[in-house]
Amino acid sequence: MLLLLVSVIAGFALARAIWPAPRQWSACDPVRLAVAPVLGTGLASVAYYLVRLVGGGPPVSAIGTLLLFSAAAVGAAYLRAPAAEADPLPQGSKAPIWMTALAGVAAALAAISFLLMVAAAPHGEWDAWSIWNLRARFLFRAVEFVSPFSPLIEWTHPDYPLFLPASITLFWHGAGEESMRVVALLQAGLACSALAAPFTVIRHVRGGALAAVTALAIAGGSTLVRNAATLYADVPLAACMAAACALLVLSIETGRKEPAIVAGLAAGMAAWTKNEGQLFLIILLAAAAVAWRHIPYLLAGAAPMLAVLGIFKLKSTAANDLVNSANAANYGSRLADLNRYWITFWGFISESLTFSHFLIPPVLVFAVWLALVRLRQPVPRTRWIPLAVAGAQLAGYFLVFVATAADLDWQINGSMARLLLHVWPIALFGVFLVSADLTPE
């Protein structure tokens, strides 16, 4: 658990090293702290993967590498700190006390719900047993590292990247046991990032009132909390995606290149979390074309994680079930089957109407919201980036459903809610980014 804390400190220091700030607490630091669990978990997973699986070193060397990364990040942040904030972030209007209190109550209830769910099912649910924690157990117990990536257990998706399993394994080596409390704490920290990254950026860009509504909307639905308690990789992926999208918007709004570099790093970590994250990175780069000067900074931030992902893909012999030769041979027939489009379309519609178990479907809630509050006028085109990214990501998932060789009804029923969760924080961030002000700025 101390290593978990070290990783968060390392993530915060890494954000400060890339995006310098004075040595005292800075106005930008809430944003850096919001993305610290994402960056810190990524550092832990990279330390474990490069030292243990690539270098073949003992577990203690992976822990030492994380500590070395942490010390280097803290040292770089200290040395790069300017004497004063060069260009402070804009401060929006403050939220009324009742709105802040309501958002705080929602966050507290979400935390209590998470604790109750984890206490009831400390090992999570099916994908945690069969993929993420299973792979972490292989790595923790293994003398050699062939078994977790064997095609003989292709139902565990051996081609999935190691953001979550490798970080869990490193923390287990620190604990000396396969502690599920460590996994739960890791998930809780990443769920906080999924909420805090949109909240802190909206607070600076649009003001406290819209930030409070953003936090209330994200924490108020049960889906984020429920999926965090399942111990799947979907909440970590949602956190990486939310951090990347929020930081890119902040970079564009402030004209600073440094948040875009951190955004690229977070997007690279999304690619290192699940294969869906690789689609997200491509979409984010394409969406950034409306502010094309930021694309080199995104690529610079993503480059280290893409290098690690490239090593993993080259060393792993497992093929992705969507692109293996047996599946690819039938793409044409499935993509030409209009019935598959119809089934997938209604799968999206039905899930969107029940997503997060609100009393009223979220699609209707936010349609009414925009109709009543209306858009902020004028809306710069760059502020449409989060909604464009969320829409493009869902369009990609739609095509994957149509093309998949798996039973379509089973695939939709088993994964649709989790795929919508990936874009949930981004979509809410986008809605409130383009909304009219609730209070005068």
More confident residue, 58 or 241: 241
Determine the pLDDT at residue 329: 59
Write down the pLDDT at residue 303.
Answer: 97
Q: pLDDT digits over 13-25, tens only?
A: 999 999 998 888 8
Residue 317 has pLDDT above 70, yes or no: no
2 has pLDDT over 90: no
d(CA 436, CA 167): 41
What pLDDT does 351 receive? 86
Average pLDDT over residues 222-231: 90
Residue 264 has pLDDT above 90, yes or no: yes
Residue 370: pLDDT band (50, 70, 90) is confident
Q: Report pLDDT for 144.
A: 63
Residue 199 near residue 211 (C-beta atoms within 8 A): yes
Give per-residue pLDDT as tens, 149-188.
666 677 677 889 999 999 999 999 999 999 999 999 999 9
pLDDT given for residue 146 in this prediction: 60
pLDDT at 258: 95
The pLDDT of residue 78 is: 94
Q: What pLDDT, on a 0 to 100 scale, did the predictor assign at position 321?
A: 62
Residue 159: closest CA among 309, 283, 41, 52: 309
Contact 140, 172 (CB under 8 A): yes
Which band of pLDDT confidence, cut at 50, 70 and 90, is reported for residue 74? very high
Backbone dihedral region for residue 95 (phi beyond 0: left; psi -120 to 50: alpha; all else: beta): beta
pLDDT above 60 for 340: yes
Look at residue 380 in the predicted model and tell me its pLDDT.
85
| Helix ranges, 221-294 (H) | 222-230, 234-254, 258-271, 275-287
pLDDT at position 91: 63
Would you say residue 59 has pLDDT above 90?
A: no
Per-residue pLDDT band for 248 (boundaries 50, 70, 90) equals very high
Residues in contact with 267: Cβ distance below 8 Å, sequence separation at least 6, in sequence order = 240, 241, 244, 277, 280, 281, 284, 298, 301, 302
Number of Cβ atoms within 10 Å of the Cβ of 373: 18
The mean per-residue pLDDT over the stretch 52-66 comes to: 87
When pLDDT is averaged across residues 46-62 and rounded to a whole number, the result is 88
Distance from C-alpha of 135 to C-alpha of 148, rounded to nearest angstrom? 6
- pLDDT of 325 strictly over 60: no
Give the model confidence (pLDDT) of 137-152 as tens digits.
988 987 666 666 666 6
Contact 159, 319 (CB under 8 A): yes
Lowest average pLDDT, out of 33-37, 191-195, 215-219, 376-380, goes to 376-380
